[in-house]
Chains A and B, each alone.
Chain A
Amino acid sequence: MKVFSAPAIHVFLKDSHSEIRTRYALNALLMFVVTALALVLFSVGNDVVGTDVLSGILWVIIFFSGMSGLSRTFVSEEERGTTATLQLIARPTSVLLGKLFFNFVLILSLNVLVAVLYIVMINRFVILTPSIFWATIFLGSCALASSSTIIAAIIAKANTKGTLYPVLSFPIMLPLLLTVMNATRLATEGAAFSEALGEFQILVSYTVVVVTISILLFGFVWKD
């Protein structure tokens, strides 16, 4: 596919190098993860909490951590006044796909980190079917990146970016969050991999639908 060739990859590389130098999103994400995990650890303490609740808490941490950093990919362009520059050197689809891939790598790395820390720190959170759990982390990251990228593009143009992002994201991501919470619960209950296939189909469908809609609509969001 021509659009996902060199220009999109170079948009991704530009964002990656920029992130390594400026740490616009990374610092926000890491600070949120550390703070949220510490709060959960203190509040749970020695209490007996069900695995379904712990599965929910894991994705609440991931959702709000993502909200604190994933919008940066478009918001930082807008704040630095480089949006017009980017508009003048690349097709809208290349920009979208490059930034989508950047957000995917960022959220996947974050989710793996959160998952490992969560398993280590919360003793009662035991994964009995790791294949379901890690597949959920991977597919959940794909779905989160796809929706958060297009929402970030929309809110980057607004004046109240910070508050608008989670508010706009929540209804769009609700079906995705319910699905990943359910799949994580299955992983903690020791369900067979085949039992989670329904959840995985939802996550793949969600990603495909959101990415397709994003490609169709991004030109309108990006230009004016």
Chain B
Amino acid sequence: MNHLTLTAGSLKKEFNRRVIFDSISFTLHEGEAFAITGRNGSGKSTLVKILCGLLSPTKGTVRVSVEGKEVNAEILFRHLGFVAPYLNMYDEFSGIENLMLFGKIRGLENNFAGDAEELLRQFNIFERRHDEVRTYSSGMKQRLKFAAALLHRPEILVMDEPTSNLDEEGIAAVRSVIAEHRRRGILIIATNEKEDVKYADAVLNLDERKLR
């Protein structure tokens, strides 16, 4: 039995009667990486939002099971990390305050402060950890989002345009996260970057509605 499974069944999404996508089904197991590609407006972000439980599908279901037990949608966030350009941090707090806040709201154990600092080091924003996020560049904000998404060591990592706003050093940090996470969980990447797609075991092209 697989430790971790994510199953999307016949997903369909409509906005104002316009069908964005229809009949999307796939199953992912632990240790698999999945890429979603397609031109702008093809529904990549909509699909990842549905997979993360941020949007409801018009039809279909997303099921996550851990150790054979289905995870209630309300507590899916405990197993999931999500990075996307449209996901914002709290500007009035510093980088470290944001991470500590997220850890406490998530209900993590008290000893996550060390993990938070380690992640800030990994993404090379440790020196600016006490500065308010409003003073960060867009690339630094993107790095902080990665730190926030990885703080609770999620089994499922979903990334929408993960390398957007990042310089070469940031991209390298992200690729190491991708390489490491695909070994120990489920990785879903919505991207058009050919380099990122290479990491995927399967690719869903929303333009062709084909799974490769």
Hey, which bits of chain A sit against chain B, CB under 8 A?
A: 5-7, 10-11, 13-14, 17-18, 21-22, 80-82, 84-92, 94, 219, 223-224
Contact = CB atoms under 8 A, between A and B. Distances in A.
Contact of B87 (A10, A14, A85, A219): A85
11 contacts: A7-B106, A10-B105, A13-B104, A18-B90, A80-B90, A84-B84, A84-B87, A86-B105, A87-B77, A89-B105, A91-B75
Nearest to A223: B56
Interface residues of B, number: 27
A219 B106 CA distance: 17
Determine chain A's interface SS by DSSP, over half rule.
helix
Given A88-B80, A224-B55, A7 B105 contact: yes
Given A88-B77, A91-B75, A224-B55, A14 B105 contact: yes
B105 to A, nearest CB: 5
Given A10-B101, A94-B105, A88 B82 contact: yes
B150 to A, nearest CB: 13
A92 B88 CA distance: 18
Contacts of B107: 5-7
Contact of A91 (B49, B55, B56, B74): B74
A49 to B, nearest CB: 43
B106 A90 contact: yes
A89 B106 contact: yes
B89 interface: yes
